[in-house]
Amino acid sequence: MKDKFFKYIHELQDAITSKLEVVDSKAKFKEDLWERPEGGGGRTRVIENGNIFEKGGVNISGVHGKLPKSMQAYFKVGDVDFFACGLSLVIHPKNPMVPTVHANWRYFEMYDENGNIIDSWFGGGQDLTPYYLFEEDAKHFHQTCKTACDKHNKEFYPTYKKRCDEYFYNTHRNEGRGVGGLFFDYCKASETMTMDRWFNFVTEVGNSFLEAYVPIVEKRKELDYTNEQQNWQEIRRGRYVEFNLVHDKGTLFGLKTNGRIESILMSLPPHVQWVYDHHPEEGSEEEKLIEVLKNPVDWV
Amino acid sequence: MKDKFFKYIHELQDAITSKLEVVDSKAKFKEDLWERPEGGGGRTRVIENGNIFEKGGVNISGVHGKLPKSMQAYFKVGDVDFFACGLSLVIHPKNPMVPTVHANWRYFEMYDENGNIIDSWFGGGQDLTPYYLFEEDAKHFHQTCKTACDKHNKEFYPTYKKRCDEYFYNTHRNEGRGVGGLFFDYCKASETMTMDRWFNFVTEVGNSFLEAYVPIVEKRKELDYTNEQQNWQEIRRGRYVEFNLVHDKGTLFGLKTNGRIESILMSLPPHVQWVYDHHPEEGSEEEKLIEVLKNPVDWV
């Protein structure tokens, strides 16, 4: 399974970066290969200062060795070996009418002293963070998520949509990071779902990413915007930073266990503002967004 | 003691904000009074878009009531009452040749069920974060700190200078946030230091703040700078955000215990950039700064 999924994320990274380069039509992804001293490494691809994409990363990594102490405590296991691989992406478009997107698909294995798998699971998801709300975009994104989920289990979409709203939440602001999508974790073998079936589900979601996001980019990328709208985008990007640095378990785990910093923090937006006590005007488009972030919507 | 120190921070806030307004000569501090539902409140003063100061806050607060659960665990005490007050300030100048400064002075009391003080202590410090290194500025700041400390105990400056270097450290970047200053905490009554003596020490440091910082502002505020130097300032401000949101205990405590968000996050810089894998040129002024942040210097 680990070889099969590791191969899959390589192919998916290629598919996603090629397509995004076509969409951008100016900037190319820059590739950095890196090695982890304790075992494994990754292939980081970052795009900057494009026509459409101001900054974005589409990264894969596969790491293995002794499970770090902090993770042993987190998973409540002893001194075991592990393997983990995944693809993580965050895309920050230049135009505030085009939403930021994040996605991640990952697989994890732990081994006993004889190298037998003692536990394994998939995790991942994809979610959308608009600066201006176009309801049809949120609907399209969620509908694509739902279509992928429904092929596997009708319960998956409502369950993982709800988890996404709960996970990507800035508790200190009482608002969601964006309009959500899917979030799932600890997808383990059960009576109804073998690991092969989970593989089919997770890759179905991975394969749906470009269909979920690219049509939104195409539809909004030519829209005009003002300096004020760009300021709003940069203020909202501040909330994105707050979530990733204060609440996101993946980011904090990476920072505290000596991960490759530049690959982890590629998720942070290029230009960001913090304005003291900023509030959108009553009845404005900006306020309409905040309302939706405070009260998650059933988009499909 | 609590009344005496609470009065002191009110006066110090007035002294600092008046002086900084004179230095800026354009922007005025905007004041927000706020109340904490569980007891107490604060007086937040924020300056934005000045001639000299792009964004800054000089805040006081005094809060009391039942010690929050998370703090009970942190201090390893039971269900007790507490009182805490302090002044916190962060100033982000516009010109990248002028350093950012942070300072904080605070006092804490805990009570038994009869209202008797069971524990009390002072804490605080002040530290400087330059974007371009002028060694004489770092020396002036540290000399002012040392002069204030030396009046009370010759061990204080070396001890609290070292703690400052250790505390304001981005472990995930292997570099200090800035060139340091002083950091002290849990200053409790002992055979040699009564609480009155600690009060004299802490207020001596508080009174030294303007002398430590303002001459540096005056000396650098008219210097020319380029767009590239401003970009560097904004990239370095990203490291400031990383420290405050990932590592700073005070910020995280505030965010996770329902503090007044806008008063806590006034510390975040106005315009910030994250550039993937940015490295200053060899032999540049930017690289010289990084060297000093990686290897703390004895400035006096």
Among A92, A102, A140, A142, the one annotated catalytic = A102
Judged by average pLDDT, the poorest of A103-107, A161-165, A286-290, B111-115 is B111-115
pLDDT for B207 equals 98
Consecutive H or E run containing A175 = strand A175-176
Separation between Cα atoms, residue B118 and residue A257, nearest integer Å: 38
For A157-175, how does the pLDDT look when each residue is reduced to its tens digit (9 = 90+)?
999 999 999 999 999 999 9
pLDDT for A44 equals 96
Judged by average pLDDT, the poorest of A120-124, B13-17, B240-244, B250-254 is B250-254
Given a cut of 90, whether residue B56 has pLDDT beyond it is yes
Q: Does B266 touch chain A (CB under 8 A)?
A: yes
Separation between Cα atoms, residue A197 and residue A213, nearest integer Å: 25
For B177-214, how does the pLDDT look when each residue is reduced to its tens digit (9 = 90+)?
999 999 999 999 999 999 999 999 999 999 999 999 99
pLDDT for B70 equals 80
Quote the minimal CA–CA distance from A299 to chain B in Å: 30
Q: Does A26 touch chain B (CB under 8 A)?
A: no
Could you tell me if B239 and B177 are in contact, meaning their C-beta atoms sit under 8 angstroms apart? yes
Give the ipTM of the model, two decimals please.
Answer: 0.93
pLDDT for A257 equals 67
Separation between Cα atoms, residue A276 and residue A265, nearest integer Å: 24
For A121-154, how does the pLDDT look when each residue is reduced to its tens digit (9 = 90+)?
999 999 999 999 999 999 999 999 999 999 999 9
Q: Does A262 touch chain B (CB under 8 A)?
A: yes
For A187-231, how does the pLDDT look when each residue is reduced to its tens digit (9 = 90+)?
999 999 999 999 999 999 999 999 999 999 999 999 999 999 999
Identify whether A279 is a catalytic site residue.
Answer: no
Q: How far apart are the first and last CA of chain B?
A: 33
What are the domain boundaries of chain B?
Answer: 2-294
Q: Does B282 touch chain A (CB under 8 A)?
A: no
Distance of alpha carbon A84 from the chain centroid: 17
Cβ–Cβ below 8 Å for A272 and B275:
no
Given a cut of 80, whether residue B258 has pLDDT beyond it is no
Could you tell me if A150 and A160 are in contact, meaning their C-beta atoms sit under 8 angstroms apart? no
Distance of alpha carbon B24 from the chain centroid: 20
Average pLDDT over residues B256-270: 88
Cβ–Cβ below 8 Å for A32 and B277:
yes
Could you tell me if A79 and A67 are in contact, meaning their C-beta atoms sit under 8 angstroms apart? yes
* Cβ partners under 8 Å of residue B209, min gap 6: B12, B16, B103, B126
Separation between Cα atoms, residue A243 and residue A264, nearest integer Å: 14
Under CATH, domain B2-294 is a member of which superfamily? Answer: Coproporphyrinogen III oxidase, aerobic (3.40.1500.10)
Separation between Cα atoms, residue B149 and residue B162, nearest integer Å: 13
